[in-house]
Amino acid sequence: MENNSPKNLNSQKGKSQARTFFVWSALILIVMLLKFYADGTSAAQEFSIRDLMREAAADNITELTIRNDPNGGQNWYEVTGYINNPRFGKEGAPANTPRKNPFKFSGTILEDNYKILTSPSAPWEIREKSANSAWSSVFFTILPFLLVIGVIYFLISRQMRLSGKSAMDFGKSRARLLSPDKDRTTFDDVAGCDEAKEEVAEIVDFLKTPEKFRKIGAKIPKGILMMGPPGTGKTLLARAIAGEANVPFYSISGSDFMEMFVGVGAARVRDMFEVARKNAPCLIFIDEIDAVGRQRGAGMGGGHDEREQTLNSLLTEMDGFDGHEGIIIIAATNRPDVLDSALLRPGRFDRQVVIDTPDAKGREEILKIHARKIKLAEDVDLQTVARLCPGCSGADLANLLNESAITAARRNSPIVSMQDINIARDKVFFGRERRRLMDDDEKKLIACHESGHAITQCVLDSGNMPVHKVTIIPRGQSLGSTMFLPKRDVLTETKANLLNQICSTLGGRVAEEIAFGEITNGAASDIKQATKIARKMVCDWGMGTLGPIALGENQEHIFLGKEIARDRHFSEKTAQLIDDEIKNVIDAQLNRARDILNSRRAQLDLMSAALVEFETIDGDLARDIVSEKVKTLDEIKERLAQPKPDETKSAETPSPAATPSINPAPAQA
């Protein structure tokens, strides 16, 4: 039995590295020797015919090699050899020290001199080269370069093989076999999606006990498509399936099929299923399948582009003439609307599992899982944290606890307190505090703007989303924020609540107009948010005078070739009515906010002054100012100076609402 222990693997790796080192050393040595042999006379001293004959007369030449001109030149020779001459002694040596030095002569030699050099009675050894020796000289000159090119090619090809990018392996599958012993994930590590867990648990049950299903005649689904917003745990659930099922699990991304060469994607799909058939039963997980499974015929490149060929191959392998019994495909995407209909039919992806953002109970369970590795203080109540984070996904909650741990470590605390979680939540949801230098006029303007938001919200709120905190400290891209605290997960909205949101969003602009008699560009995001809600009310939700008619199809995200040429489903007259209706909604709520703030001008001035001096006030104090329980700045100072019974829990800030498309973001100055 083969021993694959870490020690043995390290030994084999060390031997392989040593063998590679010796191979490269030998090749380099051979190249150096050949180069030296080919260029051995390159350092030889150039002789003239006079010097050559003088040394020959003095019997100083020890060896001669004479080669005729290979091109047939008359009386042209190349003479090389060695000479013993004290004049060529080694530098620093005595002048009478003989030294064997190479020399070289190229040129025309008269017949008399040629006879002297080639005389049989000459004391030197004579060698004659034929004309064919030129080829050997050329060979030994080019050989080193060929070896260098070969070495470079070997290095590059070896590196490409190690990285899985060999020129001969383009059609090989990039699917990675997930090791069950490395970072194993089980269903206990997944929370907040109990229904989805039940759906995929049947897959694991079938793989473990297939006889139970076969006896009754049931067939396991061939494919499962997990859909949901980003960060809800689709990939994590797939890893949990791999951890629970004791079968090979292959993981690949949709983008891994695509390559610059035509036909590579389809070849990789075929190779992936070929490997899977050899290891059946097994699981194949394709993440971000929308990268390769988009609708066919929806692009500018016609119907024969590389993506479509890859998709055709995938469709054939999933449910074609060749069966794939025992191969279960699991895919994940957050864009199910762009997938091809042939991919979603029964027989390919039989089940479509929706993984949505978790509810309050699910968020609490997710927080408990991520809190296993974090030391929490006794004052941390995960149920409260979960209640204050409506609309957050599992990834958001994991990031929240991680930022809390980083905040605690920054202040050298061994545990994470509720205060750390509060600071992290403010940073994650609203941005990091930016202490910008602002003059008094800027502070007064921003304080008035945020007071307008807070007062209108306090007046209009029915208790579902009360004001939690008002601040003029810049966070993220905003110069100030009015933060709301949702009491529950917002799933549906009434028309009255939507109009209240528009009115509260426009309260900041109206406050500037009332207090300063001017308007600024600080309400840009507020106007955009209010217009977005009003347009959806009229075009999508049927809450205008035009009635329950869907008029918003041309507002969808453009997918190249699908909606780019789509005509509007209404006339120009209807478009004008839509614009008038949206303007009427905005104008009505603008006047409504103006009436609210004009009737509470004293509260507006008091809250603005409190924000200028203290920068931040909580929601309870804001409501007391609006209800006139607190009427002066001195009372506010006394109120802020009093210690709170539970400072940590009262300092919490909310997250964005569960449905950001119909709930305004925190007001920005």
CB half-sphere exposure, 609, CA atoms < 13 A:
14
User: Which residues have CB under 8 Å from 325's CB, separation 6+?
Assistant: 280
Strand pairing category for 100-108 and 76-84: antiparallel
DSSP 337-401: GGB-HHHHSTTTS-EEEE-----HHHHHHHHHHHGGGS-B-TT--HHHHHHT-TT--HHHHHHHH
Q: Can you state the angle between helices 601-614 and 572-598, rounded to 10 degrees? A: 80
Amino acid identity, residue 350?
D
Question: What pLDDT shows up at residue 180?
Answer: 60
CA 357-429-556 angle, to 5 degrees, is 55
Count other Cβ atoms within 10 Å, centred on residue 498: 21
Structurally, at CATH architecture level, domain 45-131 sits in 2-Layer Sandwich (3.30)
Question: What pLDDT shows up at residue 140?
Answer: 60
Structurally, at CATH architecture level, domain 176-354 sits in 3-Layer(aba) Sandwich (3.40)
User: Which residues have CB under 8 Å from 72's CB, separation 6+?
Assistant: none
Q: Give the pair of three-digit tokens for residue 504.
A: 């509260």
Question: For residue 305, with 0-12 CB atoms within 10 Å meaning exposed, 13-18 middle and 19 or more buried, which class applies?
Answer: middle
> Of all helices (H) and strands (E), which one includes residue 543?
none
* Contact yes or no for 225/333 (Cβ under 8 A): yes
- Answer whether CATH 1.10.8.60 is correct for domain 360-430: yes
Q: Do domains 45-131 and 176-354 have the same CATH topology?
A: no
DSSP 483-516: EE--SS------HHHHHHHHHHHHHHHHHHHHHH
CA max distance for the chain: 132
- Domain segments of the chain: what residues? 6-38+139-169, 45-131, 176-354, 360-430, 440-650
Quick one: which of 378, 365, 371, 388 has its CA closest to 418? 378
Question: For residue 389, with 0-12 CB atoms within 10 Å meaning exposed, 13-18 middle and 19 or more buried, which class applies?
Answer: buried
Question: What pLDDT shows up at residue 477?
Answer: 75
CA distances from 30 to 34, 73, 116, 148, 158 (A): 6, 35, 39, 11, 21
CA distance 409 to 395: 21
CA distance 203 to 285: 13
Q: Which of 403, 450, 512, 652 is catalytic?
A: 450
Question: What pLDDT shows up at residue 95?
Answer: 45
CA distance 434 to 359: 32
Which residues are paired to 510 by β-bridges? none
The CATH number fitting domain 440-650, selected from 1.10.150.120, 1.20.58.760, 3.40.50.12780, 1.25.40.10: 1.20.58.760
Match 């009003």 to its residue by tokens.
534
Question: What pLDDT shows up at residue 443?
Answer: 87
CA distance 180 to 159: 28
91 annotated active-site: no
Question: What pLDDT shows up at residue 558?
Answer: 42
The predicted model scores a pTM of 0.65
Question: What pLDDT shows up at residue 137?
Answer: 58
Question: What pLDDT shows up at residue 85?
Answer: 61
CA distance 593 to 507: 6
Distance of CA 281 to the CA centre of its chain: 32
> Of all helices (H) and strands (E), which one includes residue 17?
helix 6-38
CA 324-328-333 angle, to 5 degrees, is 125
Question: What pLDDT shows up at residue 321?
Answer: 56
Quick one: which of 648, 651, 649 has its CA closest to 616? 651
Q: What is the mean pLDDT of each run of 10 residues along the chain (669 residues)?
A: 44 54 66 56 68 78 71 68 59 48 75 75 63 55 71 66 51 66 78 84 82 82 87 87 82 78 77 84 87 72 66 82 72 88 86 87 90 88 85 89 92 90 84 75 89 90 81 82 78 88 92 88 89 91 85 52 53 88 93 92 89 86 86 82 52 34 36
DSSP 205-237: HHHH-HHHHHHTT----SEEEEE-STTSSHHHH
Q: What is the mean pLDDT of the chain?
A: 76
Which residues are paired to 353 by β-bridges? 226
> Of all helices (H) and strands (E), which one includes residue 328?
strand 327-333
CA distance 121 to 101: 23
Classify the phi-psi angles of 331: left when phi > 0, otherwise alpha if psi is within -120 to 50, otherwise beta.
beta
Q: Give the pair of three-digit tokens for residue 535.
A: 């347009």
Question: What pLDDT shows up at residue 105?
Answer: 74
